[in-house]
Amino acid sequence: MSDCCQLYIDRLADAEESGKEYAKIQLETCRSFKKLQPKDLYDTLNTVEPSMYSTFTKCMQDRITDADKPLLSLINEYEDKKKDSITASELNRNTMTLYETDLNYTIGKIFLFIILILAYFFLLNGASLIEPIKNGVQKASEKISNFTSVKAPIK
């Protein structure tokens, strides 16, 4: 960062003997302005000559920029967190929408499957199909029980 009073330092170095005192006063005024608290800056601007306004504006701008660096970093950090939060919320909403869609699809498929089973039994007389299945299971059960029953050897 450049010194905002550099102009007056250069003027003092280049001034002739007759103008050195005036250049020194301007340099001291500039340096005192750099050290003032913000609440005192306005009063000082009312007491200096207008030719120094541009230099004082540069000094004030440098001070404001330096003072705002922590605030700017906080604002940037907040904005980053806000963007991340919005992204996370958006992702959460999208995921919930996908979950609801999948749930509705699954419930619809189950409902359709139940309707098809009922239609089969009522329209195609599915009750007649149940009897052969029951008989087949009974016969298999009897054969297994006969096969597994232990018979004593005949003497």
pLDDT by residue (tens digit) across 122-137?
A: 777 666 667 778 888 8
Distance, in Å, from the CA atom of 4 to the CA atom of 27, rounded to the nearest integer, reads 10
Question: pLDDT value at position 1?
Answer: 42
Distance, in Å, from the CA atom of 27 to the CA atom of 154, rounded to the nearest integer, reads 132
Length of the chain counted residue by residue: 155
Q: Can you state the angle between helices 53-123 and 17-35, rounded to 10 degrees?
A: 30
Q: Angle 36-41-44 (CA atoms, 0-180°, nearest 5)?
A: 100
Looking at residue 126, the DSSP 8-state letter turns out to be: T
**Maximum mean pLDDT: which of 41-55, 82-96, 124-138, 141-155:** 82-96
15-29, 36-50, 100-114, range with the lowest pLDDT: 36-50
Question: pLDDT value at position 95?
Answer: 93
Question: pLDDT value at position 142?
Answer: 87
Q: Angle 14-20-25 (CA atoms, 0-180°, nearest 5)?
A: 115
Two tokens, residue 56 = 């004082």
CB 9 within 8 A of CB 3: yes
Better-predicted residue by pLDDT, 58 or 41:
58
For residue 8, what are the CA distances in angstroms to 23, 64, 74? 7, 21, 36
